[in-house]
Structure formats: structure tokens, C-alpha cells
């Protein structure tokens, strides 16, 4: 930071982010209810960043709750387990909880209603295990980041060992409006979360953990503080409620006062960020030997009759969960995740996945989508942008397909939080522009790679053809030489036989003469 910026930052406090109405209550204050077991569960093979898991069960096979359905394949992947006991009735494509409405592969389980657990491994003291073994067990339990990004947690823990992590940041920010699943988890299971944090400290070799919780969740802060009282390595910190406080770089800055560089990660500064839900899942995996097969999902929105947090098995349909909480009116829009960054659902027959933090059934009034107007260059988006970009300039360039121009304005640093779209008085869908541009750039990158590989293949083919012709010519020359040698040998043989015949004839003649 230059001197001038420093002076300005002293004069004016940081003004990133926005303050949307949080609308978390009353849903956050209702005790967690369990979803009655649906008749069928659709367990997707791709519930994480990276490669889809590879199924290891067969059609018609009987599976127990917690049994491995699909194993991780490739470097970045996560295992998938059966969320209940039953029979595998299909392995095939189903609709994905994704705005495109495309399909993806899933294992369908016909529940037998017993919900019988497979034998868990013998419980061991996780602190007696070597750190690498803890990460292996977390991977075997299919734990992924439950904050929404669904990055396989074991990889992050393994990274801690390599990257010299000294601080573990636990993200209890939950800055998205409407959502309260992390809040509820911290109120109901603070001891389990603290135990999970201690296991993660052991796995990463970090010496201290900072739990950041927004100050609009006083009950969660009180519960967590009480649970962590005996562990000086774990500090519970209240952070101001402001969106997007749950972004890992922003929570890190709020807790430590350090800023993460644009092209860097928090691990570069020795800190690893995990969600509170992930800490709970790590506790379950290590202490109970239970894989990640269910989670708490916030059901909220104006169209829902009894909003609240529901414990849902992975693979239950959104329609099942909505039927359980009841609908007051037909929702104008269904969203998976929060209202700022969540995905609009094509319909309700899509499964709940590991990364589903909430399901929102919004009324027409809440989901009001008004026609965009022209940009009036008020710069509201510039003040709101938490990464310090110029959304108005970037969207203008993307509007005329000048993607490189947008990249020059820092498109790659955009975290797609939606603050700019939220504050825009002209209701321009700014973040939609950025998502479109990022997708286009990724597609162009893939095309570039494809082009390069095609060029390599074509060159390899030309080389192979040349080698073929050369080898053919060499073989032809060899055959020719062989034939020539054979002919010469034949000729020589013929010569000797001819000479012999002549001698015989001469002998014959002499005999005749004698006779």
C-alpha cells in the first residue's frame, strides 16, 4: 500500500460489502427437525469440485447406511456414501440442482425403511493417529467443504502439512441472508464442532484456531465460547455482520488484519479456512466413523409455511423437503443456497447435495426481477465491491464481448458475491455478466488446450507416416537384396550342376567311344 492510500484509508474506514436485511429469523430460532425418510434417494456422484466419483455398487445390490457407493477418482475428488439402507434401484442420469437444468449421474436407492448403519470402524483416539492418517480418514468419509464451495476437505488438510499452516480459520460467518444452518449447528452442537476443530488442528499442525462468527448470532457466539473455554488454542471472535463476511479472504482480513494478495490464497499467509459444518463432519468421521450422508438445510422464504432448519439425508428431493415444511403459496422462484450466490433451481425434483446450505422458496414479491435500465455511472457498485473492482467498467466491456478488456479490469479477482447487482439502482445484472464472461474465458481456454493437443496429434501422425514410408522403403530394399542374393545363389548352383552334367556327358561319350 502506497503512502497516499494509507493516508486515505486512515481518513475513511473500509467500505466494502453491503448490508442486506438478514431475514434469518424466525427460521433460525426454530429447533432442528428431521426429515422423515423419503422412499427414494437420488445420490449424485458429483457433489464436489473435481472429478465425479466412480460407482462401486451394482444395480440391485443391497446397501447399508454409510456404505461406500462411489469412490474418489483422480487427484481432486471425494467419495460418496449411502444415506440410508436399501436397494440400488438405478444408476443413471437425473436432473442436477443447477440453473442449466442439465442432468448428471446419480445412484438411486430404494429405501427399506430400516435406516440400518453399516458397521462403523473401531473408534480410536484421533490424537493418537499421525496427521496423515487423519486426512486419509476424512477423505474416506467423503467430507467436502460445507460452506458451499464443496472442495474435498482432506486435500485442504493435506495442504496444511505441506504449506506450513500456523492458523486455522473457522468460518462461522454465514453472511448470506435467509440462511441459518451454521448458526443452528453452532447452537446445537458446539462441543462436536470444537472437537472437530481440535482434530483439524492436529491434522494440519496449526497451533491456533480462530472462529469468526458474525455479531448477528449472539446465541451461537455464547454457545461456542462456552464449548471452547477449556481449549486456549481456540479463540471465538465476533466479527461485524456484513456481506460477504463469509468469503474466506474477507473473514481472514477481519480476524487478522492482514490482506490476502489478489493472486494468492490465505495458505500463502499460513492460514487455512474451513467452515464450521466441515468441523462437525470431521468430528463425525473420526469419532463415530460416520461418513457425510446428511446435513442441516435451512428452509426459508416467503412461500414456506413452517420455515426452519431441517436435517436432510443427501439425495432427498427438494420436493420432499418442501412437502415436509409445507408451502403457503406456489413459489415464484426456488433457490438452492443463499439469495446472493445461490443457484436458481429449474424445478423441485432435484436432489439435496452435500453443499446445500439452504432451499429458498421465494414469493413473486421477494424475487422481484425488474427490467434493467442504463448505467448512470453512480459508482455504487464500486463502493460495494469487496475486492475493489470497477464492476461498471467490466460489464460495459463484456457487453461488447471485449473479454480481455474486462480481464484487464480485474475480472479474474471477482468472487461473484453479487454485491454490485444488489446495490445497482439501474438493476443491471452485473454479476450475471461476470459469470458469463468467466465461463466464456474458461471455454476459450479449453478450446486453446484442445487446439494445442490437435496440433501435437497431427504432428505425431505426420511423423508416424514418414516413419512408415521409411520403414516400408527399408523393408523393400531388404527384400530386393535378399531376392538378388537368392538369385545369385541359384545361378551359382545352376552353374555347378551344368558343369557336372557336362562332365557326366563327356564321361558317357568316352564310355560310348570305348564301347
Partner 1 sequence: MISAILSLTVLGLVLGFGLGFAAKMFAVATDARVAEIEALMPGTNCGQCGYPGCPGAAAAIAAGEATVTICPPGGKALAAALAARLGVAADLSGVSDAGPKIATIAEEICIGCCRCIKECPTDAIVGAAKQIHAVMREACTGCGNCIDRCPTEAVKMQPVPVTLQHWVWPKPQAEAAWA
- For binding to partner 1 (CB under 8 A), which residues are involved? 46, 96, 98-100, 102, 104, 371-372, 374-375, 396, 398-401, 404, 428-429, 432-433, 435-436, 439-440, 442-448, 450-451, 453-455, 457-461, 464
Tell me how far, at minimum, the Cβ of 429 lies from partner 1, in Å. Answer: 5
Cβ closer to partner 1: 97 or 308? 97
Cβ closer to partner 1: 25 or 472? 472
> What cell numbers appear for 238 in the block?
465476533
Cβ closer to partner 1: 154 or 375? 375
Tell me how far, at minimum, the Cβ of 455 lies from partner 1, in Å. Answer: 4
> What cell numbers appear for 75 in the block?
487427484
Cβ closer to partner 1: 25 or 377? 377
Cβ closer to partner 1: 47 or 171? 47
Cβ 169 vs Cβ 274: under 8 Å = yes
Cβ 397 vs Cβ 403: under 8 Å = yes
Tell me how far, at minimum, the Cβ of 50 lies from partner 1, in Å. Answer: 10
Tell me how far, at minimum, the Cβ of 338 lies from partner 1, in Å. Answer: 18
Nearest residue to 173 (alpha-carbon basis) of 234, 144, 206, 216:
216
Phi, psi of 345 (to 5 degrees): -90, 140
Burial class (CB in 10 A: 0-12, 13-18, 19+), 45: buried
Tell me how far, at minimum, the Cβ of 64 lies from partner 1, in Å. Answer: 30
Cβ 362 vs Cβ 200: under 8 Å = no
Cβ closer to partner 1: 401 or 490? 401
Instruction: Report d(CA 209, CA 202) in Å as an integer.
Output: 11
Tell me how far, at minimum, the Cβ of 402 lies from partner 1, in Å. Answer: 10
Task: Give residue for cell 448470506.
Answer: 176
Cβ closer to partner 1: 9 or 369? 369
Measured in residues, the chain has a length of 515
Tell me how far, at minimum, the Cβ of 445 lies from partner 1, in Å. Answer: 8
For residue 34, the tally of other CB atoms under 10 A from its CB is 12
Nearest residue to 161 (alpha-carbon basis) of 196, 200, 193:
200
Tell me how far, at minimum, the Cβ of 439 lies from partner 1, in Å. Answer: 3
Cβ closer to partner 1: 120 or 465? 465
Helix-, strand-, coil-residue percentages of the chain, each rounded to 5: 40, 20, 40
Instruction: Report d(CA 28, CA 318) in Å as an integer.
Output: 20
Task: Give residue for cell 482480513.
Answer: 253
3-state SS class at 453: helix
Cβ closer to partner 1: 311 or 432? 432
Residue 54 is given by DSSP the state E
Cβ closer to partner 1: 270 or 346? 346
Burial class (CB in 10 A: 0-12, 13-18, 19+), 337: buried
Cβ closer to partner 1: 361 or 375? 375
Tell me how far, at minimum, the Cβ of 375 lies from partner 1, in Å. Answer: 6
For residue 199, the tally of other CB atoms under 10 A from its CB is 24
Residue 30's DSSP bridge partners are none
Cβ closer to partner 1: 14 or 457? 457
Tell me how far, at minimum, the Cβ of 340 lies from partner 1, in Å. Answer: 16
Tell me how far, at minimum, the Cβ of 436 lies from partner 1, in Å. Answer: 4
Tell me how far, at minimum, the Cβ of 451 lies from partner 1, in Å. Answer: 5
For residue 192, what are the contacts with CB-CB under 8 A and spacing of at least 6? Answer: 280, 283, 284
What is the DSSP pairing of strand 308-313 with strand 343-344? unpaired
Instruction: Report d(CA 91, CA 108) in Å as an integer.
Output: 6
Instruction: Report d(CA 6, CA 11) in Å as an integer.
Output: 9
Tell me how far, at minimum, the Cβ of 430 lies from partner 1, in Å. Answer: 9
Burial class (CB in 10 A: 0-12, 13-18, 19+), 105: middle
* DSSP assignment string, 60-83: T-EE-BT-EEEE--SSS---EE-S
Cβ closer to partner 1: 451 or 507? 451
Amino acid at each position: 500500500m502506497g503512502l497516499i492510500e494509507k493516508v486515505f484509508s486512515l481518513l475513511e474506514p473500509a467500505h466494502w460489502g453491503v448490508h442486506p436485511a438478514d431475514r434469518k429469523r424466525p427460521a433460525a430460532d426454530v429447533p432442528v427437525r428431521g426429515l422423515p425418510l423419503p422412499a427414494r434417494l437420488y445420490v449424485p456422484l458429483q457433489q464436489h469440485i473435481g472429478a465425479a466419483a466412480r460407482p462401486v455398487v451394482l444395480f440391485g445390490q443391497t446397501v447399508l447406511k454409510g456404505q461406500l457407493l462411489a469412490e474418489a477418482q483422480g487427484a481432486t475428488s471425494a467419495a460418496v456414501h449411502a444415506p440410508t439402507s436399501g436397494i440400488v434401484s438405478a444408476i443413471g442420469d437425473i436432473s442436477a440442482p443447477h440453473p442449466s437444468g442439465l442432468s448428471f449421474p446419480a445412484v438411486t436407492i430404494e429405501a427399506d425403511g430400516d435406516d440400518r448403519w453399516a458397521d462403523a470402524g473401531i473408534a480410536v483416539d484421533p490424537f493418537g493417529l499421525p496427521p496423515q492418517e487423519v486426512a486419509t480418514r476424512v477423505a474416506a468419509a467423503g467430507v467436502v467443504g460445507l460452506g458451499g464451495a464443496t472442495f474435498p476437505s482432506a486435500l485442504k488438510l493435506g495442504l496444511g502439512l505441506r504449506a506450513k499452516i500456523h492458523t486455522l480459520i473457522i468460518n462461522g460467518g454465514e453472511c448470506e441472508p435467509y440462511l441459518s444452518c451454521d448458526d443452528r449447528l453452532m447452537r446445537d452442537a458446539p462441543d462436536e464442532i470444537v472437537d472437530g476443530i481440535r482434530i483439524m488442528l492436529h491434522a494440519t499442525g496449526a497451533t491456533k484456531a480462530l472462529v469468526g462468527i458474525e455479531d448477528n448470532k449472539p446465541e451461537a457466539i455464547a454457545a461456542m465460547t462456552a464449548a471452547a473455554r477449556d481449549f486456549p488454542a481456540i479463540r471465538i471472535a465476533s466479527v461485524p455482520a456484513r456481506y460477504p463476511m463469509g468469503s474466506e479472504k474477507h473473514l481472514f482480513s477481519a480476524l487478522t488484519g492482514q490482506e490476502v494478495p489478489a493472486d494468492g490464497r490465505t495458505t500463502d499467509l499460513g492460514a487455512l479456512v474451513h467452515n464450521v459444518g466441515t468441523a462437525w463432519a470431521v468430528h463425525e468421521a473420526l469419532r463415530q466413523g460416520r461418513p457425510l450422508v446428511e446435513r442441516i438445510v435451512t428452509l426459508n422464504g416467503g412461500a414456506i409455511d413452517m420455515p426452519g432448519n431441517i436435517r436432510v439425508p443427501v439425495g432427498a428431493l427438494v420436493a420432499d423437503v418442501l412437502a415436509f415444511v409445507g408451502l403457503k403459496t406456489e413459489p415464484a422462484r426456488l433457490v438452492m443456497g443463499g439469495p446472493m450466490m445461490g443457484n436458481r433451481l429449474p424445478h423441485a425434483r432435484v436432489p439435496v447435495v452435500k453443499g446445500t446450505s439452504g432451499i429458498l422458496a421465494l414469493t413473486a414479491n421477494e424475487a422481484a426481477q425488474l427490467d434493467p435500465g442504463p448505467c448512470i455511472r453512480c459508482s455504487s457498485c464500486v463502493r460495494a465491491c469487496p475486492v475493489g473492482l470497477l464492476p461498471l467498467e467490466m460489464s460495459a466491456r463484456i457487453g461488447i464481448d471485449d473479454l480481455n478488456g474486462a480481464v484487464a479490469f480485474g475480472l479474474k479477482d471477482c468472487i461473484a458475491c453479487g454485491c454490485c447487482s444488489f446495490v445497482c439502482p439501474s438493476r443491471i445484472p452485473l454479476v450475471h455478466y461476470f459469470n458469463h464472461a468467466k465461463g466464456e474465458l474458461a471455454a476459450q481456454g479449453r478450446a486453446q488446450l484442445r487446439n494445442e493437443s490437435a496440433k501435437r496429434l497431427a504432428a505425431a501422425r505426420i511423423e508416424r507416416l514418414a516413419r512408415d514410408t521409411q520403414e516400408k522403403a527399408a523393408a523393400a530394399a531388404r527384400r530386393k537384396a535378399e531376392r538378388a542374393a537368392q538369385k545369385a545363389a541359384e545361378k551359382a548352383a545352376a552353374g555347378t550342376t551344368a558343369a557336372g552334367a557336362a562332365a557326366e556327358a563327356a564321361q558317357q561319350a568316352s564310355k560310348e567311344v570305348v564301347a
